[in-house]
Amino acid sequence: MTIIVLVDVDDVVTQSVKRWLELYNKDFDDNLNIEDINIWDIASFAKKCDKKTFFDYIANPNFYDKVEPIDGSWYGVTRLREMGYRVVFATSPTIGHEGRKFQYLCDYGYLDNTHVGKMDYIEATDKSLIQCDYMVDDSPNNILNTDGMPIIFDRPWNRHLKTEDGFIRASDWDDVVSWIQEK
């Protein structure tokens, strides 16, 4: 039986929030940075515009054109596959631009656009509906509601969670691979 590692895309594989803040800061002459965001509701930190305007950045179909990968993520995914794990990407869809993150993953070599690659990509807001053996995510809600072994990818907005709550905290992709390899 193949072991499935479910991997979130935004801020686990991609530096989405970094790009989001760059655009917001430029347009609104603000200096909001990632370390300022200590809860999941990122829009509440954008004080110089309303939530709709703030979310319009990620709704833009060109948003992912300049989003960089998280350091070590490609190597980590590749290493897990080499060890025999099936890596399945799960991400919340951007309404109106479904499949854009799939294209990003193909462009950066995480997936290819063959039939097999498409089977390893799921768009779902409620990831608790997806069966897996391990889940790597930055969302507190996803980590606390998975049936798989939860591995929270360390980000400022999830640091209030404590590992006593039954998950593993990974500071980077080397940690992700090490934790899974040890289990």
Domain residue limits, the chain: 4-14+69-182, 16-66
Residues 139/47, Cβ–Cβ less than 8 Å: no
Specify the pLDDT at position 157.
96
How confident is residue 61, by pLDDT bands cut at 50, 70 and 90?
Answer: confident
State the pLDDT confidence band at 98, using cuts at 50, 70 and 90: confident
How far is the C-alpha of 183 from the C-alpha of 167, rounded, in Å?
13
- pTM for the full model? 0.94
Average pLDDT for 26-36: 96
Q: Which one, of 136, 176, 131, lies nearest residue 158 by Cα?
A: 136
| Model pLDDT, residue 97 | 77
**Residue 95: per-residue pLDDT:** 75
Return the structure tokens found at 46: 């954008």
CA-nearest of 133, 163, 139, 165 to 153 is 139
If pLDDT is split at 50, 70 and 90, which confidence band does 116 have? low
Distance CA 41, CA 22 (A): 17
Mean pLDDT for the stretch of residues 127-137 = 96
Question: Between 100 and 175, where is the model more confident?
Answer: 175
Question: For residue 118, what pLDDT band results from cuts at 50, 70 and 90?
Answer: low
Question: Whose CA is closest to 23, among 47, 56, 45, 50?
Answer: 56
- CATH classification (class only), 4-14+69-182: alpha beta
Burial label, 115 (beta-carbon count in 10 A; 0-12, 13-18, 19+): exposed
